[in-house]
Amino acid sequence: MSTDYQYVPEPKLVKGDHTFGSITDIIAKTPLSPTPKLWYLAFGVANVLLITLLGAIGYLVWDGTGIWGLNNPAGWGWAIINFVWWVGIGHAGTLISAILFLFRQGWRTAINRFAEAMTIFAVMCAGIFPAIHVGRIWVIYWVFPVPNQMAAWPNFSSPLLWDVFAVSTYFTVSLLFWYVGLIPDFATLRDKAKSKVAKISYGIAALGWTGSFKNWWHYEKAYMILAGLATPLVLSVHTIVSFDFAVSVIPGWHSTIFPPYFVAGAIYSGFAMVLTLMLIARKIYGLQDIMNIDIMEKMNLVMMVTGNLVAFAYLMEGFVAWYSGYIYEQGIFWLYVVGPYAWGFWILMFCNVITPQFLWFKKIRRNVAFTFVISIIVNIGMWFERFMISVASLATDFMPSAWDYYSPTLWDILTYVGTFGLFFTFFLLFLRFLPMVAIAEVKGVMPQADPHNYDEETKEFDISKTEPVVVQQEQTV
Amino acid sequence: MEAENKDVYGVLAEFRNPKELVDAAESVKKSGYKDFDTYAPFPIHGMEKAMGIKESPLGWIVLGGALTGMIGALALMIWVMGYEYPMNISGKPFINIPIYIPITFELTVLLSAFAAVFGMIGLNKLPRFHNPLFNVDRFDKASDDGFFVCIEATDSLFAEEKVTKLLQDNGATHIETVYDSE
User: Which member of A180, A191, A209 has the closest CB to residue B140?
Assistant: A191
* Nearest residue in chain B measured CA to CA from A161: B103
* pLDDT at res. B2: 46
Mutation choice for B interface testing from A171, A199, A214 by most B CBs within 10 A: A214
Which residues, in sequence order, are bridge partners of residue A2? A473
Chain A residues with beta carbon closer than 8 angstroms to that of B117? 176, 179-180, 222, 226
Cis status of the peptide bond prior to B41, with omega within 30 of 0: no
Q: How many helices (H) and strands (E) does chain B have?
A: 5, 4
d(CA B58, CA A314): 44
For chain B, what is the radius of gyration of the CA atoms? 25
Question: Which is it for strands B147-152 and B174-179: parallel, antiparallel or unpaired?
Answer: unpaired
Q: Which residue of A has its CA nearest to B35?
A: A214
Under 8 Å between Cβ of A22 and A423: no
Residues of B with CB below 8 A from A443's CB?
Answer: 41-42
CB atoms within 10 A of CB A278: 25
The answer to whether A450 contacts B22, with C-beta atoms less than 8 Å apart, is no
Spell out the alpha helix ranges (H) of chain B.
Answer: 18-30, 47-51, 58-79, 97-123, 160-169
Who contacts B110 (Cβ-Cβ below 8 Å, separation ≥6)?
Answer: A169, A172, A173, B69
What value, to the nearest 5°, has the Cα angle with vertex B173 and ends B168 and B176? Answer: 75
Q: What is the DSSP string of A121-133?
A: HHHHHHHHHHHHH
Exposure string of A342-364, with b = 16+ CB inside 10 Å and e = fewer, is eebbebbbebbbebbebbeeeeb
CA dihedral B52, B57, B58, B59 (to 10 degrees): 110
Looking at the DSSP assignment, which residues form a beta bridge with residue B15?
B147
The torsion angle over the Cα atoms of residues B45, B46, B52 and B53, rounded to 10 degrees, is 30
CB nearest to A169's CB, from B41, B109, B139: B109
Report the gap between the CA of A179 and the closest CA in chain B (Å): 9
Q: Could you give the CA distance from residue B131 to residue B135 in angstroms, rounded to a whole number? A: 8
- pLDDT tens, N- to C-terminus, chain A (477 residues): 555 666 666 777 787 778 888 888 888 888 888 888 889 999 999 999 999 999 999 999 999 888 998 888 888 889 899 999 999 998 888 888 888 888 888 888 888 888 999 999 999 999 999 888 888 888 888 888 877 666 778 888 888 889 999 999 999 999 999 999 999 999 999 888 888 888 899 989 989 898 888 899 999 999 999 999 999 998 999 899 999 888 888 888 888 888 999 999 999 999 999 999 999 888 888 888 888 888 899 899 999 999 999 999 999 988 999 998 888 889 888 989 998 899 999 999 999 999 999 999 999 999 999 999 999 999 999 999 999 988 888 888 888 888 888 889 999 999 999 999 999 999 999 998 998 888 888 888 888 888 887 887 777 777 777 766 555 555 555
- What angle (nearest 5°) sits at the alpha carbon of residue A256, between those of residues A250 and A262? 90
The residues facing A473 across adjacent strands are A2
Residue B12: strand pairing partners = B150, B176
Q: Do B56 and A233 touch (CB under 8 A)?
A: no
Predicted local distance difference test score (pLDDT) of residue A5? 63
Phi and psi at A319, nearest 5°, equal -65, -45
Spell out which residues of chain A touch residue B144, defining contact as CB-CB under 8 Å.
20-21, 24, 188, 191-192
**Strand pairing category for B174-179 and B36-39:** unpaired
Q: Do A166 and B102 touch (CB under 8 A)?
A: yes
Q: Which residues of A touch B129 (CB under 8 A)?
A: 203-204, 207-208
- Smallest Cβ–Cβ distance between A169 and the set B40, B110, B116 belongs to B110
Contact B38 A156 (CB under 8 A): no
Q: Closest partner residue to B17 among A188, A439, A454, by Cβ?
A: A454
pTM score, whole prediction: 0.90
Residues of chain B predicted below pLDDT 50: 1-3
The answer to whether the Cβ–Cβ distance between A236 and B105 falls below 8 Å is yes
d(CA A466, CA A468): 6
Question: Are A229 and B45 in contact (CB < 8 Å)?
Answer: no
φ/ψ region of A76 (left if φ > 0, alpha if ψ in -120 to 50, else beta) reads beta
Give this complex's ipTM.
Answer: 0.91
User: Looking at residue B152, what is its pLDDT?
Assistant: 86
CB nearest B53 (choices: A207, A217, A240): A217
What stretches of A68-212 show up as alpha helix (H) in DSSP?
A: 78-94, 100-102, 112-133, 159-192, 196-206
State how far the Cα of A278 lies from the Cα of A355, in Å rounded to an integer: 19
A150-185 burial: b if 16+ Cβ within 10 Å, else e: eeebbebbbbebbbbbbbbbbbebbbbbbebbbbbb
C-alpha of A290 from chain center: 20
